[in-house]
Amino acid sequence: MGDNDELIRRINEIKWFHSIPIRDGIVTPGLDKSMDKLGQVCLPEDLSGKSVLDIGAWDGFFSFQAERNGAKRVLATDHFCWSGPGWGTKDGFNLVHETLDSKVESLDIDAMAITPEAIGTFDVVMFLGVLYHLQDPMGGLRVAASVCDELLIIETQMDDLHRWKPSMVYYPGDSFNNDDTNYWAPNVAAMRGMLKDLGFSRVEVVYPKRPWLRYSRPVRYLSSFKGVFEKRGSFLQTMNQGRMSFHAYR
């Protein structure tokens, strides 16, 4: 059996979330369209000399990408998906780490347990797909801010996108996407306000590039029909929802 055959065999033994290119056209069969999301989070292409923290790393797609982009140090952290109650494991991360001969560090720690004393501080902090899974979203942002020296990158579920004033929507039970680990989604004004209150001088929406167009009323109507079909919620519930990415600068 060749090296690639053995690698594919090992890949097929794991349930993947991230789709990670490894070698020779081999990509892990994750549920997530990770390469598409890479463009949405706008991770800087040149991270030379930077230290990077990935909170909620799971299979590690963004951790390994930060290493590819030249970061001098990358720390991947997770607990829920590595050894906690989530359906994931650390097996995918470990396999990719081994295959890439990566120097990315890892630490099994709950997101809310992260402090500067426990892990230090980092130039760039990635907080991707984590916020809406937290029962205390402001507390989660405070944790991420406390270990961020320069740039905080956030990708998250959003709601109430039609409102200009700050608001946050709570999802009781499994009312959003049939998943009882989804709790809160802010609108843009709330996100900007929370990040400004946590000491960031500038907050930018980096995805979508034209939020006023992507979340215009006709587009939201179409998205709502899709949301009902995908069983994400009722037409009225999904009409003002979306995914967005933010860059917050010190």
Domains of the chain: 47-249 (3.40.50.150)
Query: What would the mean pLDDT of 82-96 be, rounded to a whole number?
Result: 96
For residue 182, pLDDT over 60 is answered with yes
The stretch 131-139 carries a mean pLDDT of 97
Work out whether the CA dihedral 53, 58, 62, 68 comes out positive or negative: positive
DSSP bridge partners of 155: 128, 245
pLDDT at position 1 is 45
What DSSP character marks residue 133? G
pLDDT for 4 equals 87
φ/ψ (deg, to 5) at 26: -85, 120
pLDDT at site 177: 83
pLDDT in tens, 203-241: 999 998 766 555 666 666 677 767 677 766 666 667 788
Q: Mean pLDDT over residues 30-38, rounded? A: 94
Give the per-residue pLDDT at 232: 66
Could you tell me which residues come within 8 angstroms of residue 125 by beta carbon, excluding any fewer than 6 positions away? 52, 53, 55, 144, 147, 148, 151, 152, 153
pLDDT at residue 212, as a whole number:
59
Tell me the average pLDDT across 8-34: 94
Mean local confidence (pLDDT), 47-54: 98
